[in-house]
Amino acid sequence: MIGPSSSALSHVTVVIPVFNEERSLPLVLGSIPMAAVKEILVVDNGSTDASARVAAQMGATVVSERRRGYGSACLAGLAQLRHRPPDIVVFMDGDFSDHPEELPLLLAPIRERGCDLVIGSRFLGRAEPGALLPQARFGNRLAVFLLRVLYGAHFTDLGPFRAVRYARLMELGMADRTFGWTAEMQARAALAGWKTTEVPVSYRKRVGVSKITGTLGGTLRAGAKILATLFILRLTGSRRGHGPHPGPV
């Protein structure tokens, strides 16, 4: 059933990992182009604010994942979809940094050019001044450099706004439970020989305070995790690998 010509690839589900985003979620959910989307899954990762209630009120399906971490939340969202598999899953953050109305730009290369994964690049697009902190820019640059030299993969960003074929993603063996998730997906996609591309997307200052790149601890932890993910996967990953992840899940 996989392949650009075997279906219209019309079933699109959005997955939004969320930790305490009650203020931004209404804006995010309110600007997703619903004509292009069948379901929105908000994965509440133990929020102590009203994120889950706000999401449910606005018509999203709320999944609760107690194990903390960005990757944990994304994995929980994917697992939830097992019984109603979409053709395409779109990830975006819950902080209203991404521009959800740009979602159709991410779908087009999958539908029209048979791509498996489309990254929304904030570096090819327009990032509002101050939206990407210097440490985030530096970290991204280093990560995409490593993706190029270690994996031969050409990306300009590890952006959170991305579209991917769901069935393919489930075969990829994604395992990272924290902020290595985005880099892991791109590295595994390269190892598996996926057809990938990027489209320019816009990016603005988040609503509320950054929990990751806005703090020293968060930046160091996320940076270290991304680098470790890229090096370890290069050493352990299989070039052909559509198979399961060789390491612990």
Ligand X SMILES: Nc1nc2c(ncn2[C@@H]2O[C@H](COP(=O)(O)OP(=O)(O)O)[C@@H](O)[C@H]2O)c(=O)[nH]1
Residues making contact with ligand X (CB under 6 A): 17-19, 21, 45, 68-70, 73, 93-95, 136, 206, 210-214
Q: Can you tell me the distance from the alpha carbon of 139 to that of 147, in angstroms, rounded to the nearest whole number?
A: 12
Given 95, 102, 116, 176, the residue binding Mg ion (CB under 5 A): 95
Give me 101's structure tokens.
Answer: 């109305």
Nearer to Mg ion, 194 or 203 (CB): 203
Shortest separation between residue 78's beta carbon and ligand X, angstroms? 13
Q: Binding of Mg ion at residue 206 (CB under 5 A)?
A: yes
Q: What spatial distance separates the first Cα and last Cα of the chain, rounded to whole Å? A: 27
Residues 62-81 that bind Mg ion (CB under 5 A): none
Tokens 């968060």 correspond to 218
Q: Which stretch binds Mg ion (CB under 5 A): 56-64, 206-214, 224-232, 240-248?
A: 206-214
Which of 66, 42, 45 lies closest to 54, judged by CA? 42
Cβ(44)–Cβ(62) below 8 Å: yes
Nearer to Mg ion, 65 or 95 (CB): 95
Shortest separation between residue 69's beta carbon and ligand X, angstroms? 5
Cβ(193)–Cβ(117) below 8 Å: no
Given 97, 186, 196, 202, the residue binding Mg ion (CB under 5 A): 97
Nearer to ligand X, 116 or 176 (CB): 176
- Contact partner, 69, from ligand X, Mg ion, none, Cβ < 5-8 Å per class: ligand X
Residues in touch with Mg ion (CB under 5 A): 95, 97, 206
